[in-house]
Amino acid sequence: MTTVAEARGGGEGTRTPYALSHLDALESEAVHIFREVAGEFENPVVLFSGGKDSIVMLHLALKAFAPAAVPFALLHVDTGHNFPEVLDYRDRAVARHGLRLHVASVQDYIDRGVLKERPDGTRNPLQTLPLTERIAAERFDAVFGGGRRDEEKARAKERVFSLRDEFSQWDPRRQRPELWNLYNGRHAPGEHVRVFPLSNWTELDVWQYIAREGIELPQIYFAHEREVFRRSGMWLTAGEWGGPRDDESVEKRLVRYRTVGDMSCTGAVDSDAVTLEQVITEIAASRLTERGATRADDKLSEAAMEDRKREGYF
């Protein structure tokens, strides 16, 4: 935490008096975004997957409204292929902070025959319909997502307040310019606004902030032994979701996850980083982006993310 003395203490060129550290600046901006939404919307919800970005979002929301409770519910889109450690974390977080949790289940849609399993077994693209239908059914007017502009090139052009039509669609050519910190949350009935408080954070910022704030994470973010098999250049966890095939062999490796999504398309990386400090050192030295390293869903095509976003994806 910055204190007056510390902030004034730096004498070097970049440590000018009253300049906030980059983490303080990003934290303050995110808190401002949370409070704008609380002030201007009727029924906001926070998308919460149990992944590190949504965990940081929840932490920021808790700080933004303390000592009062967070004035939003959480929404989890459950692919049915979640890591058990992550579901466990989700339920403990909900209980500890007395939050309300909505779950939209991809499995329900498959069971009802509304959605069909894809040949490649990944359920990430299948999340869009349960997500958008739940948003419409609950009449959520603001939906917080943990998306960051550094994640992917289509996200680099995303707004902090991103208007979605009644079909949850995103049109990148009709975005509202965002000037100063004056966010425009106006929307028609049936439309909603996706809000991205971590827009300006990088993966490294997120990890540094987790370390600074002492935020607890699911254990799969740290190196552990796991039975995995190789597919599309990634280490995937064996499981009921459809892996490994006969031609793929399982082996035990020391790995950790850089992102947490559907088990079928989220790969682990070889790692011996067991502490936050080791993870940060590893990320700072990495020559691959987190999505490039570990997400099959973004390897589908050059515009895979843009296409999913247009349809109403996170």
Partner 1 sequence: MTSTTEGAESLSVEQLSETTLLRFATAGSVDDGKSTLVGRLLHDSKSVLTDQLEAVERASAGRGQDGPDLALLTDGLRAEREQGITIDVAYRYFATPRRRFILADTPGHVQYTRNMVTGASTAELTVILVDARNGVVEQTRRHAAIAALLRVPHVVLAVNKMDLAGYQEAVFASIAEEFTAYATELGVPEVTAIPISALEGDNVVEPSARMDWYGGPTVLEHLETVPVSHDLAHCHARLPVQYVIRPRSAEHPDYRGYAGQIAAGSFRVGQEVTVLPSGRTSRISGIDLLGQPVDVAWTTQSVTVLLEDDIDLSRGDLIVPSKDAPATTQDVEATVCHVADQPLTVGHRVLLKHGTRTVKAIVKDIPSRLTLDDLSLHPHPGGLAANDIGRVKIRTAEPLPVDAYADSRRTGSFILIDPHDGTTLTAGMVGESFAAPEPVEDRADDDGWDF
- Pick the stretch among 46-54, 76-84, 132-140, 206-214 that binds partner 1 (CB under 8 A): 206-214
How far is 101 from 75, CA to CA, in rounded Å? Answer: 6
- Pick the stretch among 30-38, 89-97, 138-146, 261-269 that binds partner 1 (CB under 8 A): 30-38
Largest CA distance in the chain: 65
User: In sequence order, what are the residues at sequence separation of 6 or more whose Cβ sits closer than 8 angstroms to the Cβ of residue 239?
Assistant: 81, 263
Instruction: For residue 233, give the amino acid letter.
Output: G
Instruction: For residue 47, give the amino acid letter.
Output: L
How far is 101 from 287, CA to CA, in rounded Å? Answer: 37
Q: Smallest distance from the beta carbon of 245 to partner 1, in angstroms?
A: 25
Q: Tell me whether residue 211 or residue 254 sits nearer to partner 1 (CB atom).
A: 211
Window 62-81: residues binding partner 1 (CB under 8 A): 63-69
Binding of partner 1 by 306 (CB under 8 A): yes
Helix (H/G/I), strand (E/B), else coil: 165: coil
Binding of partner 1 by 260 (CB under 8 A): no
Specify which residues 228 forms β-bridges with.
Answer: 237, 251
14 neighbors 179 (Cβ within 8 angstroms): no
Q: Tell me whether residue 25 or residue 137 sits nearer to partner 1 (CB atom).
A: 25
Window 147-186: residues binding partner 1 (CB under 8 A): 149-150, 152-157, 163, 172-173, 175-182, 184, 186
Binding of partner 1 by 212 (CB under 8 A): yes
* Beta-carbon-side half-sphere exposure of residue 169 (alpha carbons within 13 Å): 7
Q: Tell me whether residue 101 or residue 211 sits nearer to partner 1 (CB atom).
A: 211
Binding of partner 1 by 311 (CB under 8 A): no
Helix (H/G/I), strand (E/B), else coil: 85: helix
Q: Which of 105, 107, 200, 219 binds partner 1 (CB under 8 A)?
A: 200
User: In sequence order, what are the residues at sequence separation of 6 or more whose Cβ sits closer than 8 angstroms to the Cβ of residue 226?
Assistant: 237, 252, 253, 255, 268
Binding of partner 1 by 98 (CB under 8 A): no
Q: Tell me whether residue 42 or residue 180 sits nearer to partner 1 (CB atom).
A: 180
Window 267-296: residues binding partner 1 (CB under 8 A): 277, 280-281, 284-289, 292-293
Binding of partner 1 by 14 (CB under 8 A): yes
Other residues' Cβ atoms within 10 Å of the Cβ of residue 302: 11
Binding of partner 1 by 3 (CB under 8 A): yes
